[in-house]
Structure 1
Amino acid sequence: MDLTELYQKVIEYGDICDHCLGRMVAKRSFGLSNDQRGKGIRIAAALTLNQPYQEQKEPCWICGDFFKSADAWADRVIDAFSGIEGKTFVIGSKVPPLMSESEEMVWSDLVLSDPEPLKSEINREVGKRVAAKSSLVGDTKNPDLIAVLNISDGTIEVQIRPLFLYGRYFKYERGIPQTHWACRACKGAGCEACDGTGKQYRDSVEELIGAPLLPIFKAERVFLHGAGREDIDAIMVGSGRPFILEIVNPRIRDADPKALEDAINKYNEGRVGVTDIRWSARSEVETLKSHKGHKKYRILVDIDGSVPDTALQSAVQQLSGALIRQRTPTRVAHRRADKVRERGVLDIRYTGKEGKDFVLEVTGEAGLYIKELISGDQGRTTPSLTEVLNTPARVVQLDVIHVEGIDQVKSHGTS
């Protein structure tokens, strides 16, 4: 279909602006804006038909003359971004269904092969104006700020890209979960059982690390993504556990990681600590979560009856290097799938006694349940120390002393 024929057929639907007319052939030629294409179509039709040039007289039946207000929308976007740190941005939009359906009807009726959606041009044209009127730079792949224009009601929704911090955390106090737990009784609504907090536990590592950072970044909340998690009654010492902290809706983006590390450690002295804080990215979260790093534990074990050191040493040797079959432990069966997992004991050593308890150091594959490796969990874990000794044994204290992180795996790969 030539441009003159296209013009004659399109204006049968109603008066149309140059932007919407030009979008019908948006993929033709290069270096032209859609309104330039639309004006060119009008000129071509006037010359071919030897008729007067026909300007738009009525409001555009597709966009309602949206593009006359593009400058005003850009000003409102800049106002909406005011007070929020960011260097890059992108524009999104919610276009009324009638507008989208109107242009799609033309595409279908005229069998057009190279049009562009109205939404795309709105985003681009408003974005060009925002960039021209401010110091912000357009970035469609990884913008700091997103402005979503709701064309129907004239509102603007601002979305802020999260920040991500990588580090290792220490937990020196038992009884603190890694992340926020909603109260089991009220599911977070607040009740008498949780003193109206909505929380099963007063604090979490996630909340304690996040507390001093929220005012620094003027953020809404944080999410902690850990490389596994220790039991609530375990401490995390040694080299610390790798984690990535996601900071949600930060109005401030610029901060010194060392200063953030110091602020966290000062706020949580004696309870939780962090080290090796650096900037990260969302892409690293999946790497961290999927990485199956080895973990090392120091445990105190209570064993029924009188067990000679030689018998314990022999049992430990049998477990070192063994493949352990573990059915989902009874203590976590309410929140984990009931299945049998196979995990390896890479190393286990008896290092002495503390009072009446035996001290063992265990290095295992990710996902190895240490408490059940010792107790056997009524036969759900096999082999276990209880099974090999033929005497009940149980963990009375568990300390995580090393968790292999993605940073160490990278260094392994280059050595």
Structure 2
Amino acid sequence: MSELFSLVGSILEYGPICDHCLGRLFAKRSFGLSNEERGHALRVAHALDANLRFAPYEEGTCFVCSDLFREIDLWACRVADAIADIDHETFVIGTRVPPMMAESEEMLWSDFSLTDPEPLKSEMNREVGKAVGNITNKRGDPKNPEVTVILNIAEEAVEVQIAPVFFYGRYKKLERGIPQTHWDCRACHGAGCDACGGTGKQYPDSVEELIGRPARDLFNAEGMILHGAGREDIDALMIGTGRPFIMEVIAPRKRQVDLPALESAINSSAAGRVEVALSRWSNRREVETLKSHKAHKTYRILVDIEGHTSRDLVEKALEGLNGEVIHQRTPQRVSHRRADLIRKRTVIDIGCLGVEDGRYLIQVVGEAGLYIKELISGDNGRTTPSFSEILGNPARVMTLDVISVEGMPEHGEE
């Protein structure tokens, strides 16, 4: 035991140190004591062991923390004030320690070869967290905090980070010409210019914005991010069963939002353009599942064919595609934003539904990633086999509707 007291004596000779910082150097060598209690006990025991006059710590002189731990209540009040108007039940505290404080305690660890210390920030996080919980009656939760508060010691300020909220549903896009997500103007890259009328946007609206605007208002949030199970072309409709999506609500100051009321607000605001059916609340993990899931999709397309043909010839050409693996080089229309690759995708099912004004209504069930327009046109030989190639006549898609996106989990499996 005298070896421990000798080490304590050497540390005390190193420079003035408070009970918190002294006890924290030996934090893992005992249980049931706070660092302050542990430090005071070591100071007393060292005096007894060395037959010295006990010298208590003089406040205001700690060379490690500058008596930071005398300000626990002050920091707790700062945190409570900062999060008072944020809807939350759980929180966590983090601390940004000034370099000089970090260097001072690390110097002690190194110079005395200490093996059982606790970092200053860990004690600060714990003690301020307990004090905040007492003030706010909220629960500390380091694994799933709804609010994270960073104590910026150097600037005597707190920084608040609000965890996002996620909700899951399906959307229908009922109007052509709307992209799935916001696009910055190609000319000004979002800054605003004459080409975009000062909006900074390539298109006036998007599915993301039409769903996101009313949701942002209800959650009193900073913004929204739409995560879709794939995306349809701008000129395509998304009808039928709708496309699965998860909306990420950024920094919501309100979390207790009624899901049916949210659905109603979105459908009212976006009436005739976008329609949603919301199923449940979601989470970050399910976003990853949504993005990685390769769902089969069903399309209904209206195809115009040049030259003379017949329904029999059309159906025969479609039979040549049924079940085939299609080799598709990145289409010319998206080559400016996607890697130039050759992708292999399967036509699961394809058939003719009828004829409308001399054009053929065709339904396709395709593997995720199958380019439907190029499956029909051939894209100047970049897609093979194609409908045009087999038929022997140039053909192109006039309208494209996505009818269903299959295979997504509907009950939040994790």
TM-score under structure 2 length normalisation: 0.97
For residues 408 and 384 of structure 1, what CA distance do their matches in structure 2 show?
34
Q: What's the offset of the Cα at 1:31? A: 1.9
How do 1:113-192 and structure 2 match up within 5 A?
A: 113-192=115-194
What is the deviation of 1:278? 1.5
Partner of 1:28: 29
> Counterparts in 2 of 1:369-384, with a 5 A limit?
369-384=371-386
What is the SS of the residue equivalent to 2:320? helix
1:294 is matched with which residue?
A: 296
Q: Give the paired residue count.
A: 412
Matches within 5 A, 1:246-395: 246-395=248-397
- Which 10-residue stretch deviates more, 332-341 or 31-40? 31-40
**Mapped partners of 2:175, 2:80: distance in 1:** 46
Change (3 A) 1:264 1:277: farther
Partner of 1:14: 15
Confirm or deny that 1:68 pairs with 2:70. Answer: yes
Select the residue among 76, 89, 92 that pairs with 1:90. 92
CA distance in 2 between counterparts of 1:322 and 1:75 reads 67
The aligned residue for residue 103 of structure 1 is 105
Q: Secondary structure at the match of 1:306?
A: coil
- Are 2:38 and 1:37 equivalent residues in the alignment? yes
Q: CA deviation at 1:405?
A: 4.5
CA distance in 2, matches of 1:316, 1:276: 37
Distance in 2 (alpha carbons) for counterparts of 1:6 and 1:126: 30
C-alpha distance in structure 1 between counterparts of 2:357 and 2:411, whole Å: 38
Q: Distance in 2 between matches of 1:410 and 1:101?
A: 47
Per-residue CA shift, 1:293-312, capped at 9, x if unaligned?
10000000011111111111
| Counterpart residue identity of residue 328, structure 1 | T
CA distance in 2, matches of 1:281, 1:405: 19
Q: Structure 2 unaligned segments of length 5 or more: list them.
A: none
- Once the two structures are TM-superposed, the CA of residue 15 in structure 1 deviates from its matched residue by 0.5
Distance 1:377 1:28 in 2: 72
C-alpha distance in 1 between matches for 2:192 and 2:4: 66
In 2, Cα distance between the equivalents of 1:20 and 1:391? Answer: 83
Report runs of 4+ in structure 1 exceeding 3 Å deviation: 408-411
The answer on whether the counterparts of 1:18 and 1:39 sit within 8 Å (CA) in structure 2 is: yes
Q: Give 1:344's aligned amino acid.
A: T
Name the SS of the counterpart of 2:154 in structure 1.
coil
The question of whether the paired residues in 1 share the 8 Å contact of 2:167 and 2:278 is answered with no
Alignment partner, residue 220 of structure 2 = 218
Q: Whole-Å Cα distance in 2 between the matches of residues 177 and 189 of structure 1?
A: 19
Report what 2:200 is aligned to: 198
Aligned to 2:235: 233
Which residue identity does 1:102 align to in structure 2? Answer: S
Instruction: Kindly indicate whether residue 52 of structure 2 is the aligned counterpart of residue 51 of structure 1.
Output: yes
Mapped partners of 1:77, 1:405: distance in 2: 45
RMSD, matched Cα: 1.4
SS at match of 1:125: helix
Give the TM-score normalised by structure 1.
Answer: 0.97
**Contact 2:286 2:412 (C-alpha < 8 Å) held by counterparts:** no
In the alignment, the residues of structure 1 paired with residue 54 and residue 238 of structure 2 have an alpha-carbon distance, to the nearest angstrom, of 78
Give aligned-pair identity as a percent: 59
Q: Which amino acid aligns with 2:97?
A: V
SS for the counterpart of 1:71 is helix
Preserved CA contact (<8 Å) 2:282 2:412: no
Return 51-60 or 164-173, whichever deviates more: 51-60
Secondary structure of 1:27's counterpart equals helix
Whole-Å Cα distance in 1 between the matches of residues 375 and 410 of structure 2? 26
Read off the aligned partner of 2:119 and give its amino acid letter: P
Contact 1:227-1:241 at 8 Å conserved across structures: yes
The corresponding residue for 1:209 is 211
| Preserved CA contact (<8 Å) 1:187 1:198 | yes
Which runs of 5 or more residues in structure 1 are unaligned? Answer: none
In structure 2, what residue type is equivalent to 1:7?
V
SS in 2 for 1:277: strand
The answer to which of 255-264 and 394-403 deviates more is 255-264
CA displacement at 1:258 relative to structure 2: 1.0
Helix, strand or coil at the partner of 2:256 = coil
Matched-pair contact (CA < 8 Å) for 1:223–1:246: yes
How far the C-alpha of 1:383 sits from its partner, in A, is 0.5
Cα distance in 2 for partners of 1:7, 1:351 equals 87
Aligned 8 A contact 2:330 2:340 in 1? yes
Once the two structures are overlaid, the 10-residue window that deviates more, 201-210 or 53-62, is: 53-62
The aligned amino acid for 1:173 is: E
Q: Partner amino acid for 2:202?
A: Q
Offset at 1:277?
3.2
Q: Which amino acid aligns with 1:213?
A: A
